[in-house]
C-alpha cells in the first residue's frame, strides 16, 4: 500500500458492523477499557471500522478503549472544517494526542527543489494553510514531502533550493510552534523520482536549517527498503527525529507480518526516552474483524518488551 492509497483509506469505505460507539475485541467484556501501551502508537481512520463502524467519532472511542493514546490522519487538511473541529473536540475529551497530517506531498512535480518564485509562493501558501489546520485540530507536527528531483539541475543546487524553501516554511511555522517533519520515502518500491529518500540526507538538511520547526519523520517501513540498519540510523539521527511511523516490510502491514523485529525496535525507542507519536501508517494484513483483532494482538505483543 503506497501513501496515495493510504490517503484514500481515510475516507473509510467498506463493510461495517455498527455506526458510532465502541465495541470490545472478542475476549473482553463489552466496552471494557484495555491497558494502555508503553509508547504512543497512533492508528488512523479505517483501521478499526469493522469493530467501531464508519463514524469517525466511534473509531476514536474504540481506539481509546483499546489503550491507544494518539491518532494520526494524513488527510486531515482536506476534511471540512466542521469535521476537523468535531474530531479535535472528541480527541481532547479522550485525552488523545493528535499526530501528523500532511501539509505538502507532491509526488508528480518538482517543488522544493525548484528555484522558481511561483513554486516558493505556493509552498509558503500551503505552510500558512497548515498552520490554520494545526490550530483547529491541536496538531504539533505536519508532514512535508519535498517533491520530485529535477533531472536538469545539479544535485547540490537542488539541495540548496530545498533548504531555502524549507527556511521559508520555518518562518511561517515556527512562530505557531508547528513542527514540519520531513519524510524520506523509498524510491524502489513506492515512490521513484522523489528528492528526499534517506535519513542521512534529511539529517543533513535539518542540521543546515537548525530550527526546532524542521525535523525528521522516521518512517521505518520506507527506511527498511531504502537503507535498512534501522536501530543504528535511529541513533545517528536522533537529535533531529521528532516523529516516527511504523509498517513491516514486505507488505506494509502491522508488525510481525514481515522481516522487521519491531519488538526490539520499540524496546530501543522506549529506552531512548521517546515520548512522541509513532504513526501506524500501514494496512491490516487480514480483512474484517479478524484482521483488526490480529493487528491489536501484534501491537500488544510488540509493546510487551
For 23-61, b/e burial (b = at least 16 CB within 10 A) is bbbeeeeeeeeeeebebbbbbbbbbbbbbbbbbbbbbbb
pLDDT tens, position by position, 177-236: 999 999 999 999 999 999 999 999 999 999 999 999 999 999 999 999 999 999 999 999
pLDDT tens, position by position, 150-159: 999 999 999 9
Total domains, the chain: 1
Q: What CATH number does the domain containing 36 carry?
A: 3.20.20.150
- pLDDT of residue 6 exceeding 50: no
pLDDT tens, position by position, 48-61: 999 999 999 999 99
Q: Which of 288, 305, 301, 304 is nearest to 26 (CA)?
A: 288
Which spans in the chain are helix H?
A: 3-9, 49-52, 56-65, 81-94, 117-137, 155-173, 199-209, 220-226, 230-237, 262-271, 288-303
The residue segments making up the domain with residue 253 are: 3-303
pLDDT computed for residue 91 by the predictor: 98
Q: Which of 212, 176, 178, 218 is nearest to 199 (CA)?
A: 218
Distances (CA, A) of 207 to 97, 107, 157, 215: 27, 25, 17, 9
Which pTM was predicted?
0.89
Give the span between the Cα atoms of 116 and 75, in whole angstroms: 27
Give the span between the Cα atoms of 55 and 155, in whole angstroms: 46
- pLDDT of residue 2 exceeding 60: no
- What whole-number percentage of the chain has pLDDT above 90? 89
Amino acid at each position: 500500500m503506497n501513501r496515495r492509497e493510504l490517503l484514500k483509506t481515510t475516507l473509510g469505505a467498506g463493510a461495517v458492523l455498527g455506526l458510532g460507539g465502541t465495541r470490545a475485541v472478542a475476549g473482553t467484556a463489552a466496552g471494557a477499557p484495555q491497558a494502555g501501551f508503553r509508547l504512543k502508537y497512533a492508528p488512523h481512520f479505517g483501521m478499526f471500522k469493522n469493530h467501531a463502524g464508519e463514524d469517525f467519532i466511534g473509531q476514536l472511542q474504540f481506539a481509546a478503549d483499546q489503550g491507544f493514546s494518539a491518532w494520526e490522519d494524513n488527510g486531515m487538511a482536506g476534511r471540512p472544517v466542521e469535521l476537523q473541529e468535531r474530531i479535535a473536540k472528541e480527541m481532547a475529551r479522550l485525552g488523545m494526542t493528535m499526530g501528523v497530517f500532511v501539509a505538502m506531498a507532491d509526488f508528480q512535480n518538482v517543488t522544493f527543489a525548484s528555484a522558481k518564485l511561483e513554486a516558493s509562493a505556493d509552498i509558503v501558501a500551503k505552510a500558512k494553510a497548515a498552520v490554520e489546520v494545526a490550530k483547529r485540530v491541536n496538531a504539533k507536527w505536519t508532514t512535508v514531502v519535498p517533491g520530485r528531483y529535477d533531472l536538469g539541475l545539479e544535485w547540490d543546487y537542488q539541495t540548496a533550493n530545498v533548504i531555502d524553501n524549507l527556511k521559508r516554511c520555518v518562518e511561517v511555522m515556527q512562530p505557531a510552534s508547528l513542527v514540519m517533519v520531513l519524510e524520506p520515502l523509498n524510491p524502489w518500491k513506492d515512490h521513484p523520482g522523489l528528492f528526499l529518500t534517506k535519513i542521512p540526507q534529511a539529517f543533513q538538511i535539518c542540521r543546515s536549517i537548525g530550527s526546532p520547526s524542521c525535523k525528521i519523520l522516521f518512517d521505518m517501513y520506507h527506511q527498511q527498503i531504502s537503507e535498512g540498519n534501522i536501530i543504528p540510523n535511529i541513533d545517528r539521527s536522533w537529535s533531529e527525529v521528532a516523529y516516527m511511523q511504523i509498517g513491516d516490510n514486505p507488505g506494509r502491514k502491522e508488525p510481525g507480518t514481515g522481516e522487521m523485529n519491531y519488538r526490539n525496535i520499540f524496546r530501543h525507542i522506549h529506552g531512548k526516552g521517546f515520548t512522541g507519536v509513532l504513526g501506524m501508517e500501514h494496512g491490516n494484513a487480514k480483512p474484517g474483524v479478524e484482521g483488526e483483532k490480529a493487528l491489536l494482538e501484534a501491537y500488544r505483543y510488540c509493546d510487551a518488551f
